[in-house]
Amino acid sequence: NQREEERRAHDAPLFADMAGDLDVSFEFFPPKNEKMEATLWDSIQTLAPLGPRFVSVTYGAGGSTRERTHATVARIARETDLAAAAHLTCVEATKEEIDAVAEEYWAAGIRHIVALRGDPPEKGAKYQTHPGGYENAAALVEGLRKLHPFEISVAAYPECHPDSPDDRADLDNLKRKLDAGATRAITQFFFDADHFFRFRDKVAAAGIDAEIVPGIMPVMNYGAVERMSKMCGTEVPSWMGRLFEGLDDHPEARQLVSATIAAELCRKLYAGGERSFHFYTLNRAELSYAICHLLGMRAKPSAEAAAA
Ligand code: FAD
């Protein structure tokens, strides 16, 4: 019966049986100082042997990390065999300024851009297009396409973007971005696999056949994730609060719980047919590494040698 099928879909396969037949990517943010740079570099070295299909570096609000994002992406491209992707937003910049950033990436050998609208510099304010700027991510994708044949990823929202009046408008917006030339969408983080599966159905019903990669956020700091989730419209299930209860003074136990929750989410997604995951690493490798390990991934000898 249907119940039994649902149970099996959620229960199988066991971690012990997982084959590691996954494509993963890892997201980092540009470091602010030397200590953070060292942590980031350690993380990249730890995760590289898993052979991610790409690693990406975020772009701070209002272009605040423009130089640091560039320096980080360029260093990854120079010093590793990893495919590096640069995030780019439309905030607080003219089209010419954004095009110039993209040109610098192309010149540095970066061929993959994660194209985003971005958020207003003032938290909670309504988004305003910068005078002479790109109106949104779809317009940015179109602009990038005119410059060079970049590989372009865009954002998708299983629980709907807060600026969207409804799911339909959100899906239309996603379709515009893909029709403008994006290759794939990476989702906002979510904690309930069913949100993703329902979204996947709606995406298919809307005639979108591009790859939609689930974005996985291992929880490092429950309070911060709760605040972030409120802003971006992600539901934090009540069971999650209960699982982190009483762990404030137990950072190592917290990590174990966090890895377990994220791996369990990936296991459900895997059972539902997903084979690609994008990890929001927050520049800490161990959690993402542990989750990939549980899913059956192991260091690839060639990548390991290249990273050493
Ligand atoms: P868009 O797709 O352009 O639009 C988002 C929503 O706005 C749409 O769903 C739609 O409802 C509405 N909208 C857009 N255009 C119109 C229109 N013409 N008319 C009516 N409604 C419209 N932020 C950063 O600052 N730096 C990063 O590096 C970064 N990386 C991210 C990576 C991923 C994988 C994800 C999921 C998000 C990331 N973000 C980042 C956050 C992102 O910038 C915000 O979610 C932002 O609010 C929306 O960006 P977008 O590209 O989805 O926008």
Q: Which residues of the chain have pLDDT under 70?
A: 1-12, 302-308
Distance (Å) of CA 21 to CA 176, 183, 208, 270: 31, 21, 24, 10
Q: If residue 172 lies in a helix (H) or strand (E), which one and from where to where?
A: helix 167-179
The token duo for 239 is 């069971």
> Among 4, 27, 135, 274, which one carries the catalytic annotation?
27
* Ligand 1 within 6 A of CB of 137: yes
pTM for this entry: 0.94
Classified as helix, coil or strand, 153 is strand
- Whole-number pLDDT of residue 13: 81
Going by C-alpha positions, the residue among 171, 192, 180 that lies closest to residue 153 is 180
Q: What angle do CA 186, 206, 129 make, to 5 degrees?
A: 55
Please write the tens of the pLDDT for every residue from 235-275.
999 999 999 999 999 999 999 999 999 999 999 999 999 99
Classified as helix, coil or strand, 35 is helix
* Ligand 1 within 6 A of CB of 25: no
Please write the tens of the pLDDT for every residue from 139-162.
999 999 999 999 999 999 999 999
> Hunting for tokens 């161990």 — which residue is that?
286
Cβ proximity of 188 and 218 under 8 Å: no
> Hunting for tokens 């974005």 — which residue is that?
215
Classified as helix, coil or strand, 155 is strand
27 given a catalytic annotation: yes
- Whole-number pLDDT of residue 11: 61
* Ligand 1 within 6 A of CB of 231: no
The token duo for 283 is 């520049």
- Whole-number pLDDT of residue 184: 98
* DSSP structure string for 74-120: HHHHHHSSSPEEEEE--TT--HHHHHHHHHHHHHTT--EEEE-----
- Name 213's bridge partners: 186
The CA distance from 31 to 283, in Å, is 9
Best probe residue, ligand 1, of 68, 161, 170 (max atoms within 8 Å of C-beta): 161
Name every residue whose Cβ is closer than 8 Å to that of residue 227 and which is 6 or more positions away in sequence.
Answer: none
- Whole-number pLDDT of residue 308: 53
Going by C-alpha positions, the residue among 280, 282, 278 that lies closest to residue 213 is 278
The CA distance from 297 to 98, in Å, is 37
- Whole-number pLDDT of residue 238: 94
Amino acid identity of residue 237, one-letter, is: P
* Ligand 1 within 6 A of CB of 161: yes
